[in-house]
Amino acid sequence: MNIDRAVYAIAGVFIVGSVLLSIYHNQNWLWFTGFVGLNLFQSSITGFCPMVNILKALGLKPGQAFK
């Protein structure tokens, strides 16, 4: 798995997880969903994504989008 796919997978898990937590636990989990969405948006504009740095440190190889 390369960094591109890992970022998409992690963001998807965070979003689905926080939506489920907001349904079954507390609506305040939707703030986390919003944070993930805003981070994805700023990453598309600036090209900087903190998760990419973490995944690079863990040894994943960059894909097409995050070189």
Please tell me whether the overall predicted TM-score, pTM, comes out greater than 0.85 for this model: no
Predicted pLDDT of residue 65: 60
Predicted pLDDT of residue 32: 96
**Residue 26, domain member (yes or no):** yes
Between CA 17 and CA 1 the distance in angstroms is: 21
- Report the number of distinct structural domains present in the chain: 1
**Residue 45, domain member (yes or no):** yes
Structural domain boundaries enclosing 26: 3-57
Predicted pLDDT of residue 1: 83
Predicted pLDDT of residue 2: 87
**Residue 27, domain member (yes or no):** yes
Predicted pLDDT of residue 64: 65
**Residue 19, domain member (yes or no):** yes
> 17 in helix, strand or coil?
helix
Q: With a cut of 50, list the residues of the chain below it in pLDDT.
A: none
**Residue 67, domain member (yes or no):** no
**Residue 62, domain member (yes or no):** no
**Residue 66, domain member (yes or no):** no
Predicted pLDDT of residue 31: 97
Predicted pLDDT of residue 13: 97
Alpha-carbon Rg for the chain in angstroms: 13
